[in-house]
Structure 1
Amino acid sequence: MKTISLSLMAAMALAAVTAVATAQQLPGTSIRNHDRNAPIDFEAARIEVRDRQNQAIVSGNVKIEQGSLDLAAERVRIFYAQAGGDVQVDRLDADGGVRVTTPAETARAATAIYDVPNSQITMIGNVVLTRGGDVLRGQRLIIDLGSGRSTFDAAVNSATGERGRVSGRFTPTANVP
């Protein structure tokens, strides 16, 4: 197994930081203002590089920060390609109590998959998104970082094939004259 430098891991982890949005476009959501080119900082208990499979695994209380975005998970698997010494991250799979936060929102899920070339994040498994007093729940949250559009889906009942429902609560703010 090869040793990998911290700066190379930071480059490979660039895509690991995700943004969170509500299921509808809300003015001022931080996903629209997220700088996907900001430097990445991360820490974990362990880094394992599987050079022959073009994978790196960061595990043990993983914390990744990019600008005002934070990603926490037990493990993040990074899939990458190497071309002439350069590393291009293709996908990141985070699992184990995934939490993505911005100053305005927090999303929690069992897993998250970040498709780097398509700038799309999919959070799966009892997804809960909170923003102030608003709470949305579903089985899958898809976030398009390019457009800022996010979509919640409900679970499908395996016995009946029927789709469940997405639930939530929006808390209106009081209009103060």
Structure 2
Amino acid sequence: MRRNMPMLRPLITALTLLAMPAMAQEVGFGGLKADVSAPVEVAADSLAVEQDSGRAVFTGNVVIGQGEMRLSADEVTVEYADAGQSRIKSLHAKGEVTLVSGEDAAEAAEATYDVESGHVTLIGDVVMTQGRNVLTGDRMQVDLASGTARVDGRVRSILQPGEN
């Protein structure tokens, strides 16, 4: 029996994690840390600028890139830090949101990206994949500078043996 213990450890660890679905879980996100000082590029089918509020609304096949990170959604509202619209304060994405960094990917109903702090918050049916491993929850907060993420809500994990 003792000879089989090393083989059982990954299984016991996975079962323990699966038995605790209501707890928050911290994970690594993105093979490389995102460069939060890199320029933010936005592409979309259309753009509506609201000068008075200092916002811009991109709609249709929106893709946002910053360094190696890519965020896509149906609609993204950009809030500018000043009236001159030269510095982006935050982005709010809605509809089929996907965030990709390195080999990791996450999907959610909505996401908010605080450009100044480098934090992305995904909300609503969050699904994160890292290789063949899957992690789900209600909310995920990603720190792009450190490459870490925290998942809250009904957290569930599917971990493949032999993978990190």
* Shorter-chain TM-score above 0.5: yes
1:133 matched residue in structure 2:
132
Gapped regions of structure 2 (runs ≥ 5): 1-24
For residues 67-82 of structure 1, the aligned pairs below 5 Å read: 67-82=67-82
In 2, Cα distance between equivalents of 1:30 and 1:166: 19
Residues 1:62 and 1:114: Cα distance change in structure 2 (over 3 Å): same
Q: Which amino acid aligns with 2:158?
A: R
1:9-48 to 2 correspondence within 5 Å? 23-26=25-28, 29-30=29-30, 32-48=32-48
AA in 2 matched with 1:120: H
How big is the shift at 1:145?
2.3
Which residue among 135, 151, 158 is the counterpart of 1:169?
A: 158
Question: 1:43-122 to 2 correspondence within 5 Å?
Answer: 43-82=43-82, 85=84, 87-122=86-121
SS in 1 for 2:26: coil
SS in 2 for 1:128: strand
Q: CA deviation at 1:125?
A: 0.3
Structure (1/2) with the larger strand percentage: 2
Say which SS state the counterpart of residue 36 (structure 2) adopts: coil
Question: 1-side partners of 2:114 and 2:39: how far apart?
Answer: 19
Tell me: CA distance 1:173–1:31, structure 2 relative to 1, closer, same or farther (3 Å): closer
Report how far residue 86 of structure 1 moved: 6.1
Contact 2:26 2:151 in 1 (8 A): no
Deviations 1:95-133 (A, max 9, x none): 010001123111000000112222211100000000111
The answer on whether the counterparts of 1:31 and 1:145 sit within 8 Å (CA) in structure 2 is: no
The amino acid that maps onto 2:38 is A
- The structural deviation recorded for 1:63 is 1.4
CA shift for structure 1 position 44: 0.8
TM-score normalized with structure 1 length: 0.70
User: C-alpha separation between the residues in 1 aligned to 2:61 and 2:96?
Assistant: 10
Secondary structure of the corresponding residue to residue 30 of structure 1: coil
Moved runs in structure 1, 4+ residues, more than 4 A?
A: none
Deviation at 1:48, TM superposition (A): 0.8
Aligned match of 1:3: none
Residues 42, 81 of structure 1: CA spacing in aligned structure 2 closer, same or farther, 3 A cutoff? Answer: closer
